[in-house]
Structure 1
Amino acid sequence: MSIAIGALVAAKELDREHLAFLKQMGCETVGITFWETLGETDLIALAELVNEAGLPVSALSVWGNPLANPSTAEGWKTLIRHASLFGSPFVTGFAGRVPNASVEESIPAWKDLFSDLLEEAYRCDCKGLLMENCRMGDVWKRGKWNIAINDDAWKLLFSNLDDERLGLEWEPCHQVEAFVDPLDQLRRWLPSIKHIHGKDACVDWTRLKTFGLYAKQKAITTTLPGLGDTDWKALCTVLQNSGYEGSIDLETEGSSFFDDPPSKTQALSYLRSCRS
């Protein structure tokens, strides 16, 4: 089965015109995203709109800290309850964090919340809950967003809550930023990785060696696939050999996915060439 190639788009940007444009760009899936809260979004109307466009939904995501922001936690629950309207995609987001606490110190609160979310997922027959590993600047000992940030954290999370409907949402970008080999990590965690974001990063080694990691001049830049340090063809080969059935959805930074369409179209075309 071929890996589907799609895009991550903010829910507020999804209308008939933009959905038609996504299909014109060659998107085969769409990941629908929210920031911290679902707000006043009418999920029933949104589902009808997306289904009418004939674009399969790969994930419903709310980015925020569900251990500190009740609106984010409620967003998880609401998406789980409505996932069936969108074809039962994964529901995803940050694992959350007790503000300014370490990874270990946040585990009890995380386990309580995600145990409840998993119960809801089974009750609603939701496909699965996936944790994305963007650090948002967090480190092991402290932070305010997310504890699912690296291998050691994942081992701790899954040892405390081992469930077939709990997994990872992954992308090479965060691994390049952390100087982790993306392909090696992908191979280590293949059974848990169910959805992939198409985003990469590029390390300027000369700048890094000159100014260091924490200098004013950044040595690491996020990029679209095809412009960074990751071998996406090798990545797709690993996925295909493992029987991966998910999608790779292009993720961009900025106010709108639809800014600079040619660069997005080129990245989508590149990803399609890598899966062949």
Structure 2
Amino acid sequence: MKLGFLTACLPGEPLDGIAGWAAGQSFAALEVSADHHLAEVGPLRLPVSAIGYYQNLLHHDVAERDRIHDMLRRCVDAAAELGCPLVGTFIGRDITRTVAENLRLAEDVLPPLVAYAKDRGVVFVVENCPMEGWHPDGYPANLAYSPELWRWMAGLGFFLNFDPSHLVWLGIDPVVALREHLDLVKHVQAKDVEIDPGARNRFGVFGQLVDKPSPWVSGWWRYRVPGLGEVDWRRLIDVLYEGGYDGVVSIEHEDPVWSGTPERVRQGLVLAQRTLAPLMV
């Protein structure tokens, strides 16, 4: 296994500079954020583990959905040119339709994207994030959030960019979920989550409703860098090794404590590296 990170945490920094710093810190790969760095993709000092374009492939606005699909095809083209086998994304959800209707919609509109990628030697990997901020009431807006749907998703040709942090606050044991779906995991994102049980008792699992400062604020949990939350990284990495996973573990830095400036973000990445690197041989 190799340790890398997603470049979205340094949106204003040039990709070449990020790669130089990462190589100097002994990171082994970069997951390149298409929203921030796709135009800069070229020869780098580090391999690209995946190109990440995390948007709603089932957006209710058809014109916007078409734009997203066009951009995803551009990401596939860039990945193929780099010899990178993976493009990260979401399944998403049309929030005007039921889950059952969304499943049928996905089965109708997503296969051409999978075929386009397959023709170019690229596979889609989907992060299992609920994307609750896309829904007006904070409910899941990315069908890939639920292990119940992972094999349905794989049947369409979308595999897992496994992120344990989301499972923890959903009440799912990430180690168990990983062990049962190792054959679907093509990429791993390393993010942690900090739980406030007292606040959960007040707001419930769906989170704060009144005077909510942001669609992405639950009021009872927040993302942290690996080692500062609830995820048992020792057991998780062990399961990956036991299952024969030999790909990249990519730190997804969304920790509000270690954010605010590029220097602070880099410190957060180093903290995450100190937790994960000793577990990876």
Q: TM-score, normalised by structure 1?
A: 0.84
C-alpha separation in 1, matches of 2:222 and 2:138 = 24
Aligned-partner residue type, residue 275 of structure 1: M
Distance 2:140 2:173 in 1: 26
State the shift of 1:79 in Å.
1.3
Alignment partner of 1:129 is 2:124: yes
Is the CA contact (8 Å cut-off) linking 1:60 and 1:89 kept in structure 2? no
Shift of 1:102: 2.3
The Cα offsets for residues 55-89 of structure 1, whole Å up to 9 and x where unpaired, read as 01111111111222322211111111221222223
Query: In 1, distance between residues paired with 2:12 and 2:74?
Result: 17
Instruction: Say which SS state the counterpart of residue 13 (structure 1) adopts.
Output: coil
Aligned twin of 1:258: 262
Amino acid at match of 1:233: R
* Whole-angstrom distance in 2 between the partners of 1:56 and 1:20: 12
Aligned to 1:189: 181
CA contact (8 A) 1:99 1:143 kept: no
RMSD over aligned CA atoms reads: 2.7
Structure 1 residues 116 and 257: alpha-carbon distance in aligned structure 2, compared to 1, 3 A threshold: farther
User: Is 2:41 the counterpart of 1:47?
Assistant: yes
CA displacement at 1:191 relative to structure 2: 0.4
Distance 1:4 1:257, change over 3 A: farther
Q: What is the CA-CA distance between 1:33 and the residue it aligns to?
A: 1.3
Indicate the percent of aligned positions where both proteins have the same amino acid: 25
Tell me, which stretches of 5 or more residues in structure 2 are unaligned? 60-64, 213-217
Q: Work out whether residues 61 and 93 of structure 1, in 8 Å CA contact, stay in contact via their aligned partners in 2.
A: yes
CA, structure 1 residues 66+123, in 2 after alignment: closer, same or farther (shift >3 Å)? same
Q: Secondary structure at the match of 1:262?
A: helix
> Among 76, 84, 91, which residue is 1:80 paired with?
76
Q: Which deviates more, 224-233 or 63-72?
A: 63-72
Residue type at the aligned position of 1:96: G
Change (3 A) 1:23 1:265: same
Check whether the contact 1:103–1:142 (CA below 8 A) recurs between aligned residues: no
Q: Secondary structure at the match of 2:143?
A: coil
1:170 corresponds to 2:171? no
In structure 2, the residue matched to 1:64 is: 55
Partner of 1:246: 247
- Looking at structure 2, the residues matched to 143 and 231 of structure 1 have their Cα atoms a distance apart, in angstroms, of 26
Contact 1:99-1:142 within 8 A present in 2 as well: no
**Counterparts in 2 of 1:1-276, with a 5 A limit?**
3-10=1-8, 13-35=13-35, 42=39, 46-48=40-42, 51=43, 53-68=44-59, 69-126=65-122, 128-137=123-132, 145-159=141-155, 161=156, 163=157, 166-209=158-201, 212-213=204-205, 214-215=207-208, 218-253=219-254, 258-260=262-264, 261-276=266-281
* Separation in structure 2 between the aligned mates of residue 106 and residue 185 of structure 1, nearest angstrom: 23
Report the AA paired with residue 262 of structure 2.
F
Superimposed CA distance per residue, residues 218-253 of structure 1 (whole angstroms, 9 cap, x where no aligned partner): 221211101111111111110011110211111112
